[in-house]
Amino acid sequence: MLDAGLNTNAEMMGGTATRMTALRSVETPKPAISVVGLGYVGAVSTACLSDLGHRVVGVDLDPVKIAAIGAGMTPIHEDQLGDLLSAGVEKGLIAATDDLVQAVLATDVTFVSVGTPTAADGGCDYSYIVSAAQKIGQAIRLKSDYHIVVMRCSIPPGTTMKVMVPEIEKASGKVCGEGFGVCFNPEFLREGVAVEDFRAPPKTVIGASDPRAAQMMSRLYAPVDAAPIVTSIETAEMVKYVDNVWHATKVTFANEVGRLCKPLGVDSHDVMDIFVQDTKLNLSPYYLKPGFAFGGSCLPKEVRAVAHIADSIGVDLPLISSLGTSNSAHIEAATQMVKDTGARTVAVLGLAFKPGTDDLRESPILEVIADLMDQGITVLAHDMAITRDTNIEGQLSYVAHAAPGLTKVAKHLGEMLTDTADQAVHAADAIIVTHANDTYRAAVKNSFKPTIDVVRLFKEEENQALVAGIGW
């Protein structure tokens, strides 16, 4: 801990031109934290971490923000922020400076919340991260203590380890995980209620380079979240993007429902008030794991119906109307993976659109089979609920204007079916499996054949050389 070493502004800055506001000596067992970038994220972090009793040194390039934070005033409009900042300065817990190297030297942990604007090519502008990382590295070179750098920016997965860490390693001459630790700790606070959210976070996610860094960050967040989620840095980076894309999807979906409802004379708020009450299927983890394409007798039909209604009344619903296109892309990805194995005979395990039914209507695997047949590939198939006696004809008439795959495959389905999964697997060069059950798990495991697994039969590392999924 560096608490004892940092007593006054002048002492810390060594009389340089750096502007750090007065910082009184405070004995605290909590790690001292530097926060780089005092914008919306950094200002809230500075205030809330000091409120938890940490000594915090805020760093920015903008003299106006430095002056404001150093004087205990908020540079942005955010509920409760001004009160927390003035209390922090009053207690001698908050200081602000433009000298990042000195701030790192005077603290144990550095939070990075510099801007990551959109670059000219539409990607992420890393320049602020790179320049901050270089300074942090210069400081770590001078430190003997283990320092933790916590990335808080929203950045593409891989950026922390591939952009920030190499800069720190180069400037410090130390190795990540040994000389210093790195975490990615995404920021989920909503502007306007950020302080409230900090105290009662929706979740705390800590991606860490090593257990020591993870442990230290978990302890830091313990007062507001006793059970943070510890994961890899890349997963934590992706979680932040996925969360925001999900929120955007929800807003867009609700707005499309509104645009559809109004001309139909339906109250969209009545509809969505009922929609959100279903926490079993609608607002739940259900349907939210990457797997195979949607299918069956309802989803594709109703998505088409809604898109058709919108079209017929001149309402543009780009999200809902593109669901079928995305689903087809997923089916094509599976087909391509099977073709890429080079197999001339393929075993299909699972034919119905989901396990536990013999319903073949718009089952996406039938589109895959139709495509393979077009390539002259022989298909052998097994399904726990389908036999040669299953009434395919009845199902066919129901989807006369959809599901071309079923129409084509239906005639040959009887010839493709094997009595057991092992029989299909034994005679095949490659496998595609669409239902998860122990029989198929065992058949795939014992086969040692290339397998396209669209349901994630195996979570463990084993079989990875031979078993591939679409989304993992």
For ligand NAD, which is the closer residue by CB, 160 or 451? 160
Dig out the tokens for 195 from the structure. Answer: 């302080």
For ligand NAD, which is the closer residue by CB, 73 or 266? 73
Smallest distance, Å, CB 26 to ligand NAD?
A: 24
For ligand NAD, which is the closer residue by CB, 191 or 270? 191
Quick check: 369 and 379 in contact, CB under 8 A?
A: yes
How many Å apart are CA 107 and CA 220, to the nearest integer? 14
Does the annotation count 124 as an active-site position?
no
For ligand NAD, which is the closer residue by CB, 151 or 334? 151
How many Å apart are CA 431 and CA 65, to the nearest integer? 60
N-terminal to C-terminal alpha carbon distance within the chain: 41
- Count of CA atoms in the C-beta half-sphere (13 A) of 425: 22
Among the listed residues 126, 203, 196, 117, the one whose alpha carbon sits nearest the alpha carbon of residue 158: 126
How many Å apart are CA 136 and CA 368, to the nearest integer? 52
Q: Residues 138, 142, 146, 147: what is their CA dihedral angle, to the nearest 10 degrees?
A: -40
Q: Write down the catalytic residue from 124, 153, 176, 298.
A: 298
Contacts of 360 (CB under 8 A, 6+ apart): 351, 352, 353, 366, 386, 390, 392, 395, 406, 410
Residue nearest to ligand NAD (CB): 39
For ligand NAD, which is the closer residue by CB, 115 or 258? 115
Smallest distance, Å, CB 119 to ligand NAD?
A: 13
Smallest distance, Å, CB 130 to ligand NAD?
A: 9
For ligand NAD, which is the closer residue by CB, 152 or 330? 152
Smallest distance, Å, CB 114 to ligand NAD?
A: 4
Smallest distance, Å, CB 201 to ligand NAD?
A: 12
Consecutive H or E run containing 90 = helix 81-90
Smallest distance, Å, CB 64 to ligand NAD?
A: 9
- Count of CA atoms in the C-beta half-sphere (13 A) of 464: 5
The bridge status of strand 180-184 relative to strand 205-208 is antiparallel
Polymer length of the chain = 472
Smallest distance, Å, CB 336 to ligand NAD?
A: 35
Residue with the two structure tokens 């302890």: 219
Residues forming contacts to ligand NAD in the complex (CB under 6 A) are: 36-42, 59-62, 65, 100, 113-116, 128, 131-132, 152-154, 187, 191
C-alpha separations of 235 from 79, 169, 289 in Å? 31, 22, 15
Consecutive H or E run containing 304 = helix 299-312
For ligand NAD, which is the closer residue by CB, 180 or 353? 180
E strands, 198-312, in order:
205-208, 229-231
Q: Which residues are catalytic?
A: 298
